[in-house]
Amino acid sequence: MLEAIAGRPSRIFAAMFRSLRLPLNDPFAVAGLVIYAVFALTAIFADRIAPYDPTEILFTADYDLASDLMPFTEGFVLGTTSLGRDIFSQIVMGTRSALLVGITAAFMVALIGSVIGLVSGYFGGWVDMVLMRLADIAFGIPFLPFVIVLAAFLEPSIWNVVLAMALVLWRDTARVIRSQVLTLRSRGYVDAARVAGSSDIKIILRHIAPNILPMSFLYGSVAIGWAILTEASISFLGFGDPQSISWGYMLQDAFASQALAKQSYHWFIPPGLCIILVVSAGFFITRGYENILFPKVGR
């Protein structure tokens, strides 16, 4: 049976896409998806859009450091940083690391959480017991402090945030998925399938997985936001990765260079706005999902 599924990749893909149940009739959710799309395109074509290397130290025509330039001077759309980097290029390239961190972290959280929740809920017994105690422990670990410790002791890298999220934040997804699986399992047709001789793996793939996919996706969308916000906080506290430009790094750079005192709004507002846009896009999509998943809440 498994081979049969694998034999029809396009159809299985279409089926998966359908089972995501993208909330296309909710205006918020559509807005969120559009924001995602715009940033995704920016990230893909970042190399072509960004006029400079975001870490390159730039000089003006007369060999002075191109520092603290206002927007639209000397061809710098958003001006330059105190240390002579092009802000616009940093914003554009920052999209890349934001989405990279966000999407990987979301994928890890959704995947690990769903698998654990699924296994726990479906098999029950001692498996459930062990996995749920693990979840209890994960709930006992304060997340941001955990990331700080990881980021400080490992080499600074944007992947620390992803690692920390994969290690800790699967817990929320796992609990919710588990209870969903419990509900699904209690429905008659799982038992019926079992009586009919279906294997566990088949029941999971055919009857359970499709039903929990939207919930995983929902938690994934929230996780994208969490990852980006966490990365920003870590950078602000000085544990960020100086090699890869992210919006969090930009904000930290701006505050360390007294952008507030210099009233360089063109410097610290855009990265903040980008973070808000991407993160709230995730929330908007989530809301669309909630309307589908919990229709009884008559919104």
Partner 1 sequence: MRSTYKMLAAGALIALTAASPALAGDPIRRIDILTRPQAVNPPEFQSAQLVAQEWRKLGLDVNVRAIPWEQITDVVWYNRETWDTGSWQMVGRPERSDPDEFIHNLFHSSTVEKGYNFIGYVNPEYDAVADAQRIEIDPEKRRELIFEAQEILARDEPNMMLAHSTVVLAYDKTVWDPASVVDQSGIGIRNTWTFNNITPLGDQKDIIVNSGTNLNMINPLRQSGAVDSWVVELLYDRLARVGPDGLPQPWAAESYEWVDDTTINVKLRSGMMWHDGVPLTAEDVKFTYDAAVSGEAPMYQPFASNVESIEIVDDTTLVFKLKQPSASFITSSFAKLNITPKHIWEPILEDLKTKPENAESYQEEMPVGSGPFKYVRWLSNEEVVLEAVPTHFQPPKAERFILRIVPNVEATLGMLRSGEINFLGDYPGDPQVLIDMAAEDGDLEIAQTIEMGFKYIAFNLRRAPFNDPAFRKALSRSVNRKLIVNAAYKGFAEESNSVISPALDYWRKPGLSDGFETGTDYAAKLLEDAGYELIDGRLHYPGDIKETITE
Partner 2 sequence: MSFLKPASARLLQLVFVLWAVVTILFFMFRLMPGNPMAAYIDPTFTVEQQEILMAQFGLDKPLWEQYFIYLGNLLQGELGDSFRYREPVAGRILSLLPNTLVLTFSSLIVAYAFGILAGAYLAWRRGSAVENIAIPLVLTTRAMPEFWLGMVLLAVFSFWLGWFPAGGTRGAGASYDSYFALYTSTEFLTHLALPALTLAIYSQGLPLLLMRSNMLDVMKDDFVTMARIKGLSNWTVIVRHAARNALLPVMTSFAIAVGYQLQGNVVVESVFSWPGLGRELVNAVSGSDYPLAQGAFLAIAVVVIAMNLVADLLYAFLDPRISHA
Interface positions with partner 2 (CB under 8 A): 28, 133, 136-137, 139-146, 148-149, 152-153, 225, 229, 232-233, 236-239, 248, 251, 255, 260-261, 268, 272, 275-280, 282-284, 287, 296-299
The residues, any chain, with a CB within 8 Å of residue 179's CB and separated by 6 or more, are: 121
* Cα distance between the two ends of the chain: 41
**Closest separation in Å from C-beta 97 to partner 2:** 15
**Closest separation in Å from C-beta 101 to partner 1:** 18
> With binding defined as CB under 8 A, does residue 286 bind partner 1?
no
**Closest separation in Å from C-beta 242 to partner 1:** 4
Q: Are 62 and 49 in contact (CB under 8 A)?
A: no
Range 135-194, binding partner 1 (CB under 8 A): 152, 155-156
What residue 149 binds from partner 2, partner 1, none (CB within 5 to 8 A, per partner kind)? partner 2
Q: Six-digit token pair at 140?
A: 């006992």
Paired with 76 in beta bridges are 73
Range 226-255, binding partner 1 (CB under 8 A): 235, 238, 240, 242-243, 252-253, 255
> With binding defined as CB under 8 A, does residue 265 bind partner 1?
no
Stretch that binds partner 1, among 61-69, 105-113, 180-188, 214-222 (CB under 8 A): 61-69
Q: Are 103 and 262 in contact (CB under 8 A)?
A: no
11 or 133: CB nearest partner 2:
133
State how far the Cα of 33 lies from the Cα of 13, in Å rounded to an integer. Answer: 19
Size of the site for partner 1 (CB under 8 A): 26
**Closest separation in Å from C-beta 99 to partner 1:** 23
Q: Are 122 and 198 in contact (CB under 8 A)?
A: no
Nearest to 118 by CA among 174, 188, 194, 186: 174
State how far the Cα of 293 lies from the Cα of 21, in Å rounded to an integer. Answer: 10
What residue 64 binds from partner 1, partner 2, none (CB within 5 to 8 A, per partner kind)? partner 1
Show the DSSP H helices in the chain as ranges.
2-6, 9-20, 27-44, 46-49, 87-123, 125-140, 143-153, 159-168, 170-186, 188-195, 200-203, 209-236, 247-256, 265-293
**Closest separation in Å from C-beta 119 to partner 2:** 19
State how far the Cα of 94 lies from the Cα of 75, in Å rounded to an integer. Answer: 20
In the complex, the residues that contact partner 1 under the rule CB under 8 A are: 55, 57, 59, 64-65, 67, 82-84, 152, 155-156, 235, 238, 240, 242-243, 252-253, 255-258, 260-262
